Amino acid sequence: MAVESAGLDWLGMEIESAQLKLAITVAAVGILVAVLLTYRRLQSKISDWTRPLYGDVISTAILIITCAITLSVVLGLWEYTATVVDAISENGLDGDIVPSAIASFVLVIGTVIVMRFVKRIVDEVLGSASAVTDHQREITHRVAQVIVWAISCIVILAVWIDDLTGLLAGAGFLGIVIGMAARQTLGTVLAGFVLMFSRPFEIGDWVEIEDKQGIVTDISIVNTRVRSFDGEYIMIPNDVVSSEMVTNRSRRGRLRIEIDIGVDYDADIEYATERLEAVLADLERSLDAPSPQVVSKEFGDSAIVLGARFWITNPSARRYWRARTAAVQAIKRDLEAESIDIPYPQRELSGRDDVAVRVGDSDGAEPTVDPPDSEGDHANVDADGTERMTDDTNATDDSSPQTDDGSDDDHRPITYAEDE
């Protein structure tokens, strides 16, 4: 069957030399490759000359036109254009298929251009907002990209399929099934989007989540990655992060450190407070505003408890512990120099006025106890000074270990006798 010439097949008829045809083919393909390699640079230059949207449209049009011309020249040079047209006709592709394919191709190219335009809008609008982070800007671009491509896919399907009702109904049912099967994962993803925009913390912040402390290294739509101070990388699901209490120690750019100091009851509390404030003010990492503060917190068992408070800037775990260590050392040196005692925990034992306290001899001999009241009863006093009555037959604790001479092996006995 004879094939009529079509398109640029006349080029093959005009050029009979195979070497020349090969040279032209290589040149056409080389031009196409050069356009592909310089596409980004060409787009950038056109955007500088005109608007960015015009740069996207013109550069994409140049790329498409170059591809079409190269394909036409190569097919026509080797006289294959008519063959391709006849093949399309014989396979029934010359009806609605070719227009639908062309329309789909145009829609895909248009979607790419629209996506570039959307990305530029997101960068220009959100880039100038200081409250929006780079990560949030990227997430916004990805969400817009998914929405645009979803709409484009629906339009392309509408080009090929007349009725999309059944397809959309099936897709909706499939979405319900997937949602029920992966509700935990979807909940995590939704919590990730909430964290992206609620911004309880950012990358680089020092946070405490579910009793885990560390530096935030990454925030994805699935989990939050934290590097602990022990060098461990902790991955916390976003649904756990959204349901737990989150403490951000870096949010305001400063952190207050409080150290409790016990001062002797006999010390001058006002003078001790002045000395502590002076020590805190002289610390290298202590901020002048807010100024250091010392408050009287409570009456302790052995001392008056003072709270020494000061602030540091750019808080991190290393700066926190260095500042706290320096403060403790400086406070101890100053109080020792001023003869202000930090007392040890003390406990005072006392008895009734009519009861004499006598400690047993060092040789282990247990002194006798005279009953203060009626016969058969002994007055015993506990460690806290409370008097209790015990029966004469139970005066000795058989459960405690005894030495050969009858003394308690664990402690020296404390006995009580009535004053004569």
Domain definitions of the chain by residue range: 10-168, 192-248, 254-337, 355-418
Q: What pLDDT, on a 0 to 100 scale, did the predictor assign at position 249?
A: 84
Question: For strand 387-391 and strand 414-418, is the pairing parallel, antiparallel, or unpaired?
Answer: unpaired
Beta bridge partners of 214: 207
What is the predicted pLDDT for the residue at 64? 83
Max CA distance (Å), the chain: 145
- Per-residue DSSP letter, 285: T
- 3-class DSSP assignment, residue 381: strand
Q: Name the residue with tokens 């505003």.
A: 289
pLDDT for the residue 287: 86
How far apart are alpha carbons 306 and 264 in whole angstroms? 11
What global pTM score does this model have? 0.46
Fold (topology level) of 254-337: Alpha-Beta Plaits (3.30.70)
> Which residues neighbour 265 within 8 Å (Cβ) at sequence distance 6 or greater?
303, 304, 343
**What does the block give as tokens for 260?**
């409790």
Contact 70, 28 (CB under 8 A): yes
Beta strands in 191-269 (DSSP E): 206-209, 212-219, 223-227, 233-237, 246-248, 254-263
The residues that bridge with 263 in the sheet, in sequence order, are: 304
Residue closest to 386 by CA, chosen among 352, 417, 338, 413: 352
Q: Are 208 and 236 in contact (CB under 8 A)?
A: no
- pLDDT, tens digit only, all 420 positions of the chain: 444 555 676 777 778 778 888 888 888 888 888 888 887 888 788 877 877 767 777 888 888 888 888 888 888 878 777 777 777 677 666 566 767 777 888 888 788 878 877 887 777 777 666 666 666 677 777 788 888 888 888 888 887 777 777 777 887 877 787 777 767 777 777 777 777 777 788 888 888 887 888 888 887 777 888 888 888 888 888 888 888 888 888 878 888 889 999 998 888 999 999 999 999 988 888 888 888 889 999 998 888 999 999 998 888 888 888 999 999 999 999 999 988 888 887 666 766 666 665 655 555 555 554 555 544 444 454 444 444 444 444 444 444 444 444 444 444 444 444 443
Beta bridge partners of 259: 308
Category of 204 on φ-ψ map: left (φ > 0), alpha (ψ -120 to 50) or beta: left
What confidence score (pLDDT) does residue 325 get? 92
Helices (H) and strands (E) in the chain, counts: 12, 12
Domain 192-248: CATH architecture, name and number where available: Roll (2.30)
3-state secondary structure of 65: helix
Question: CA 17 to CA 2: how far, in whole Å?
Answer: 23
Residues facing residue 415 across a β-bridge: 358
Tell me if 419 sits within 8 A of 354, measured CB to CB.
yes
pLDDT at position 65, please? 86
Q: How many CA atoms lie within 13 A of 79 on its CB side?
A: 11
pLDDT of residue 385: 45
- What letter represents residue 220's amino acid? S
Q: Which of 412, 350, 407 is nearest to 381 (CA)?
A: 350
Model pLDDT, residue 395 = 41
